[in-house]
């Protein structure tokens, strides 16, 4: 009996030891599973408070927002930059033409004062003999006044000096100013025809700019566009100089500065008449006020090129009249410029002259000579290299610059 009791006690003890071992193994497995799923020490209780409950495993509970939520919340916000709209290019504000007239006298005075001083010195002598009058005439000829105008001016001065006997410098200066102003002829109409023609209605005024190579035609067209923009005119540029590769680019650059479009061909050597026609068509459709046509420079003795220039004008006139044909002349070319002017006038009927580089020469008499040669007025003068160094020609300011 004692032996049986010992056997039963041993079995019970083994059973108890085995149960404890199983419980320990289960607990270690549960802890490992909890750590694998992201649990933290001290947080292994479920939502119902039962030890060892794993939410989301074997039931319908939601996955806890522990580490996932923290990870998303702590990520730095992405550096998003919305693309900026390209800023509109800043446009130049051209100086009003009226302000340029002030500079006209100042700049001309720098180069032409020598002419005025020379004449005043001769006419203020105590004795004015024949030799003195010859010197006066030579001085005028050297200023490119031309033989006819120089002779006329000397003859009129002779009469006044002989009659009045003036020697006072102030009186002589006033007398010389009056006579110079008379030969420059302030009565000529120097306004630009930039108003829309009445017939056909709705069409822009068309201004052609012509001249030989190197006189500054393209630059003059660009500067003239600035003059017109300053007068609140809507302008279209036509790059009909298709022979010089850089001419269209140069003209377009001038237009971009003041917000003026340029009509051009996409290939070199295109028909200039076609480009001019398209420019006028574009100007009409856009209801522009003025279309400025830049033409290729050409020598006056090249008949084929001059005929082509005439064709450009004829093609334009199929749709609308040409309001102005401006001939650009280099003031430093002197009498050679008169020969150029005569040929161009025959081909395209020049209506006005633009004198460039007038501020760099003491030969301002070319103004008188070219007007006498063509019977058309000098309407614009170039005063320098700046973008606003083109001004309407003012006879009185011009003469005042000469006599000082």
Residue 357 in marked binding region: yes
Residue 298 in marked binding region: yes
Question: Residue 368 and residue 211: Cα distance in Å, rounded?
Answer: 19
pLDDT mean for each 10 residues of the chain (404 residues): 55 53 47 42 42 40 41 46 59 74 66 72 84 90 88 90 75 88 94 90 94 89 94 95 88 95 88 95 96 85 79 94 94 78 87 85 79 92 84 87 76
What pLDDT does 399 receive? 86
Q: Which of 300, 302, 308 is nearest to 269 (CA)?
A: 308
What pLDDT does 261 receive? 97
CB of 224 closer than 8 Å to CB of 207: yes
What pLDDT does 44 receive? 42
The maximal CA–CA distance of the chain, rounded, in angstroms, is 179
Residue 118 in marked binding region: no
Residue 297 in marked binding region: yes
The structure tokens 């020049």 sit at: 350
What pLDDT does 403 receive? 79
Residue 9 in marked binding region: no
Residue 215 in marked binding region: yes
Residue 358 in marked binding region: yes
Residue 266 in marked binding region: no
What pLDDT does 38 receive? 43
Measured between its terminal Cα atoms, the distance across the chain in Å is: 156
Residue 190 in marked binding region: no
Residue 218 in marked binding region: yes
Residue 155 in marked binding region: no
Question: Residue 296 and residue 308: Cα distance in Å, rounded?
Answer: 10
Report the predicted TM-score, pTM, of the whole model to 2 decimal places.
Answer: 0.75
Residue 320 in marked binding region: no
What pLDDT does 32 receive? 44
Residue 384 in marked binding region: no
Residue 336 in marked binding region: no
Six-digit token pair at 129? 């003999």
CB of 207 closer than 8 Å to CB of 326: yes
């Amino acid at each position: 009996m004692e032996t049986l009791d010992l056997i039963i006690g041993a079995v019970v003890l083994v059973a108890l030891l085995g149960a404890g071992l199983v419980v320990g193994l289960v607990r270690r497995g549960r802890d490992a599973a909890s750590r694998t799923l992201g649990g933290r020490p001290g947080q292994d209780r479920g939502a119902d408070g039962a030890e060892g409950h794993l939410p989301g495993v074997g039931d319908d509970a939601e996955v806890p927002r522990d580490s996932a939520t923290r990870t998303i919340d702590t990520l730095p916000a992405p550096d998003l930059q919305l693309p900026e709209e390209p800023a509109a290019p800043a446009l130049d504000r051209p100086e009003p033409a009226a302000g340029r007239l002030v500079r006209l006298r100042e700049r001309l005075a720098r180069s032409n004062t020598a002419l005025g001083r020379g004449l005043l010195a001769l006419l203020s002598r105590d004795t004015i003999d024949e030799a003195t009058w010859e010197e006066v005439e030579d001085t005028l000829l050297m200023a490119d006044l031309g033989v006819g105008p120089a002779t006329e001016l000397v003859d009129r001065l002779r009469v006044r000096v002989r009659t009045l006997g003036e020697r006072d410098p102030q009186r002589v200066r006033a007398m010389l100013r009056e006579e110079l102003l008379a030969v420059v002829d302030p009565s000529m109409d120097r306004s630009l025809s930039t108003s829309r023609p009445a017939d056909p209605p709705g069409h822009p005024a068309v201004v052609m700019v012509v001249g030989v190579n190197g006189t500054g035609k393209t630059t003059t067209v660009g500067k003239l566009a600035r003059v017109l923009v300053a007068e609140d005119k809507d302008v279209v540029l036509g790059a009909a100089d298709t022979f010089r590769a850089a001419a269209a680019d140069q003209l377009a650059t001038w237009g971009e500065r003041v917000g003026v479009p340029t009509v051009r061909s996409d290939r070199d050597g295109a028909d200039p008449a076609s480009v001019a026609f398209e420019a006028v068509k574009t100007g009409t459709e856009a209801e522009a006020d003025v279309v400025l046509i830049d033409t290729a420079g050409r020598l006056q003795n090249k008949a084929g090129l001059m005929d082509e220039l005439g064709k450009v004008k004829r093609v334009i006139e199929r749709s609308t009249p040409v309001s102005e044909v401006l001939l650009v002349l280099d003031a430093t070319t002197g009498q050679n410029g008169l020969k150029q002017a005569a040929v161009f006038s025959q081909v395209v009927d020049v209506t006005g002259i633009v004198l460039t580089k007038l501020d760099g020469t003491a030969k301002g008499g070319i103004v008188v000579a070219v007007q006498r040669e063509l019977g058309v007025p000098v309407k614009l003068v170039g005063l320098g290299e700046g973008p606003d160094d083109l001004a309407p020609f003012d006879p009185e300011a011009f003469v005042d610059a000469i006599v000082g």
